[in-house]
A and B are shown apart, each in its own frame.
Chain A
Amino acid sequence: MSSSETQVRDADYWSCQMEAVSRRRDRDSFLRIYDHYAPRVRLYLKGIGSPEAVAEELAQEALLRLWQRAALYDPARSNLSTWLFRIARNLHIDRVRHEPCWMELENEPEWPDIDGGFSSAESHAEQADLQNRIELLPTIQARLIRMSYFEARSHQEIADQLGIPLGTVKSSLRRAFMRLQLGVRGQV
């Protein structure tokens, strides 16, 4: 089985688990999601600057929200890891960086895609395609993407750290986004 097929199967698998939580409040399914995603959310939070203990606490809170908000889940429209990414990031910005506008953004009534938690149409095949595109990024673009998402580094910090001009950081990120966006949008 190719890695792409594995990823589609994985996305389907997690979607089914989530559907079981949503429809039947299936605890076993929730715990499967928890066991897989909680360590990943903790790692992500530590990377962007939550201290260890805070990362543990926020990851617990993110997964608990998933349990509590499961009724909002629409398997046809949503991706679990995108939802968890949003919640974890928002919790970090709210609790660790104490920035007020983020959670307000989340509460904004005209933001159903964020408020409701799960995003608009996103097939599992598209998500798998996106995973592949990330793996195929040129080395420098992959590095800049990771420094942005996993270390929350600003363009200037990346430029200083890697010793490259600010304009190059921006144009590389722009190109990376366009490559990945093709995956997100399901175009070829």
Chain B
Amino acid sequence: MTLRHHLDEATVISFAAGALSPEMSAVAATHVGVCRVCRERLSDAERIGGALLGQQQPTLADEARSARLREAMLKLLDSGPAMEDPPAIGRGPHVLAPTDPDHLPRPLQPYFGRSWRELRWRWVAPGMHMIRAARGSGDTLILLKIAPGKSMPLHSHQGTELTQILQGAYDDALGHFGPGDVADLGDEIEHQPITARGVSCVCVAALDAPLRFPGWLARKLQPMVGL
């Protein structure tokens, strides 16, 4: 897939470092799963992590612990399985046929379930349905379905919004966003997405702070939508 909109490099660093919230990680992983460019950047960011790991300087107290742990490791080498067969490593029972069109992207399944058909969309405004992930660390993770040719209220963000397009498309001041594209928006962005004609736009979004709506109608809508 050739994508136009990628993760911010700063987001890639945090993703590689394990410094994104679980919700942001779920969206970033969904994007990386379909984007070669961001996969390569992630790989670069992990190399930086490796280099930093090598630069750690253990203290004497750390060294003192080492003798006991080394003994334990020697016992593990004696008792453990000799060598794992590469193809079997880590494959859990959850591995799915990746081609099933009814399956949500894997990183989203823990939050929304496995099946598109079984999603229970909630009406929030004309032409707009939403599902909010139940589990969460504090950030908000939502699936949004917006009817074709619909204009969303103008809004800005107090924090970061990470949105991955799963189906359909929208346009805003930043350009055209189609399936697989990600909008990685900071608090300086004010935008008003308008969905493309023909097919509903479905996206997954992680937010770390409430949205800001400048218009009075949108502000009235905010408590209903709960964002």
Contacts and interface: CB of A to CB of B under 8 A. Distances in A.
Contacts of A107: 90-92, 95
Contacts of A115: 89-90
Interface residues of B, number: 66
A177 B36 CA distance: 18
Q: Find the residue from B48, B55, B58, B92 having the highest chain A CB count within 10 A.
A: B48
Given A108-B33, A181-B44, A85 B69 contact: no
A82 to B, nearest CB: 3
The main secondary structure of chain B at its interface with chain A is helix
A64 B73 contact: yes
25 contacts: A25-B83, A27-B77, A31-B73, A35-B66, A39-B66, A42-B58, A71-B83, A82-B46, A82-B50, A92-B18, A93-B18, A97-B18, A99-B22, A104-B107, A105-B33, A116-B86, A119-B43, A130-B48, A152-B17, A154-B20, A167-B187, A173-B9, A173-B10, A176-B13, A185-B44
A156 B159 CA distance: 8
Contacts of B66: 35, 38-39
B100 interface: no
B48 A167 contact: no
A178 B51 contact: no
Interface of B: 8-10, 12-14, 17-22, 25-26, 29, 32-33, 39, 41, 43-56, 58, 62-63, 65-66, 69-70, 72-74, 76-77, 80-81, 83-84, 86, 89-92, 94-95, 98, 106-107, 110, 159-160, 186-188, 208
A127 B51 contact: yes
A25 B83 CA distance: 9
A64 B80 contact: yes
B84 A60 contact: no
B43 A152 contact: no
Nearest to A101: B107
Given A134-B48, A134-B51, A148 B9 contact: no
The main secondary structure of chain A at its interface with chain B is helix
B58 A40 contact: yes
Contacts of A120: 43
A85 B56 contact: no
A103 interface: yes
Contacts of B187: 166-167
Contacts of B29: 101-102, 105
